[in-house]
Amino acid sequence: MTRLLHISDLHFGAVDDRLIQPLLDLAASQRPDAVIVSGDLTQRARPSQFSAARAYLARFSGPVLVVPGNHDMPLYNLPVRLAAPLARYRKAFGAGVEPSLTLPDAVIQGVNTSDPFVWKAGRLRRSSVARLTAAFAGAPAEAHRIAVMHHAPVPAADGTPADIAEPAKALADLAATGAQVVLSGHTHMPHAGFAETAAGVLFLQVGTAISTRLKTDANDVAVIDLAPGLVTRTSWIARGGGVFEPSFLLRFRQGSAGWQQSAD
């Protein structure tokens, strides 16, 4: 079995300091094989915010896979945003904005969906689709094929439409890459679901891990256990800056018709 800790939307610059240690404690107790961070490391893409985010992620043991979100590009400094949108992000997290990670039960490929021209909404680029296709084509048959992208091409938990360009095309493109699980953030609401046109793809979103920018009544992260043909996702929530506690558990089995939520 492989265990992931999925966190997102940390927003350094708007962090609830009370949650800094509880999230580290959760990671220490759950002992994930990797920590997956699906974007929005910072609030305003300032160098000091990236430094704080990098220093914080260095406190987790094991591999940490990070992709950028829209907040990791400057919002107001248009010349910088258009000329070098992720320069500050790259300085903190390395030149590659689409990293990959291979674990015993999973091949994980990061995708950069940030779009400097529109800032808030995302975009699934053709180059990212090609990278996903190549990563998944070479994966062992039993391995879960997992894409990590800040913006998901499915509606949020409250029905807000997907905040990505051409969502129907993004869905079809993702399904064609062989992706089986897509981990995202952006909406600040936890959600798990499917799309009719991409039955083989399971979409798992988490809210904001440690920021004050809440859209629900709690911060949340997810512990995801991967076994062949089975994904078990436990949502962990922290209310009022307290410790993270297990909330709901969802189990998904992979069948010939795609993913099915399972009661046992």
Residues forming contacts to Fe ion in the complex (CB under 5 A) are 9, 40
* Strand ranges of the sheet holding 202-205, from the earlier edge strand across to the other edge: 100-103, 106-111, 144-149, 181-184, 202-205, 191-193
Cβ(175)–Cβ(200) below 8 Å: yes
**Least distance (Å) from Fe ion to the CB of residue 250?**
22
Cβ(259)–Cβ(199) below 8 Å: yes
Would you say the C-alpha torsion 9, 13, 14, 18 has a positive or negative sign?
A: positive
DSSP E strand stretches across 94-218: 100-103, 106-111, 144-149, 181-184, 191-193, 202-205
**Least distance (Å) from Fe ion to the CB of residue 17?**
18
Of 216 and 232, CB closest to Fe ion: 216
**Least distance (Å) from Fe ion to the CB of residue 24?**
20
Of 70 and 177, CB closest to Fe ion: 70
**Least distance (Å) from Fe ion to the CB of residue 172?**
26
**Least distance (Å) from Fe ion to the CB of residue 187?**
8
Of 40 and 115, CB closest to Fe ion: 40
- Concatenated DSSP letters for 150-172? SS-SS--TT-PPP-BSSHHHHHH
Cβ(144)–Cβ(231) below 8 Å: yes
Of 9 and 115, CB closest to Fe ion: 9
Would you say the C-alpha torsion 51, 73, 185, 198 has a positive or negative sign?
A: negative
Helical packing angle, 126-137 and 167-177, nearest 10°: 20
Residue 227 is encoded by which pair of tokens? 């076994």
Of 9 and 225, CB closest to Fe ion: 9
Of 112 and 180, CB closest to Fe ion: 112
**Least distance (Å) from Fe ion to the CB of residue 76?**
17
Of 22 and 39, CB closest to Fe ion: 39
Cβ(124)–Cβ(130) below 8 Å: no
**Least distance (Å) from Fe ion to the CB of residue 109?**
21
Cβ(238)–Cβ(51) below 8 Å: no
